[in-house]
């Protein structure tokens, strides 16, 4: 099996934003766009830049996109929770004893976050953030 290739982590920022985001559809990023408009700035479309560039520009990580306990290269995904798809992060895949793939996911639940193994049928790629390949690499 080939060694897991480490892709450069890319993040999203806007012209006037002070934080960087994991995906262009982040709720917090939308708030920033509205603030920019209020101060008379033209809201800019988010641009994708390497994480290293965002850090050297002094941008802070968005709390919503980079919750504690989730590494920066974790893949955003959707987790099926009580019939609804919620935003989560895929930490790793493993093969269950029933031979099905399970994903270890971290997602927001009520006020906190949970980390648990979920069956492949309860996980979905987050189409808005990863445009390349599938969730499983």
Binding site for Zn ion (CB under 5 A): 21, 26, 28, 62, 64-65
* Beta carbon of residue 102, minimum distance to Zn ion (angstroms, whole number): 27
Identity of the residue, 67 or 124, whose beta carbon is nearer to Zn ion in the bound complex: 67
Identity of the residue, 30 or 93, whose beta carbon is nearer to Zn ion in the bound complex: 30
C-alpha distances (whole Å) from 96 to each of 101, 118, 131, 137 are: 6, 10, 28, 18
Q: How many angstroms separate the CA atoms of 56 and 74, rounded? A: 21
Write the CB contacts of 54 (distance below 8 Å, at least 6 apart in sequence).
11, 13, 20
* Beta carbon of residue 76, minimum distance to Zn ion (angstroms, whole number): 11
Tell me if residue 53 falls in helix, strand or coil. Answer: helix
Q: How many angstroms separate the CA atoms of 21 and 12, rounded? A: 5
* Beta carbon of residue 17, minimum distance to Zn ion (angstroms, whole number): 9
Identity of the residue, 14 or 102, whose beta carbon is nearer to Zn ion in the bound complex: 14
Identity of the residue, 87 or 123, whose beta carbon is nearer to Zn ion in the bound complex: 87
* Beta carbon of residue 136, minimum distance to Zn ion (angstroms, whole number): 24
């Amino acid at each position: 099996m080939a060694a897991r290739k480490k892709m450069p982590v890319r993040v999203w920022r806007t012209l006037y934003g002070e934080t960087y985001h994991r995906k262009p559809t982040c709720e917090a990023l939308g708030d920033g766009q509205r603030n920019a408009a209020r101060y008379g700035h033209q809201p800019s479309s988010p641009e994708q830049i390497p994480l290293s560039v965002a850090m050297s520009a002094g941008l802070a990580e968005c709390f919503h996109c980079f919750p504690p306990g989730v590494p920066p290269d974790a893949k955003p995904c959707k987790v099926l929770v009580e019939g609804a798809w919620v935003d989560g992060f895929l930490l790793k895949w493993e093969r269950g004893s029933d031979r099905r793939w399970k994903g270890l996911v971290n997602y927001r639940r009520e006020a906190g976050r949970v980390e648990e193994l979920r069956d492949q049928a309860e996980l979905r790629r987050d189409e808005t953030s990863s445009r390349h390949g599938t969730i499983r690499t």
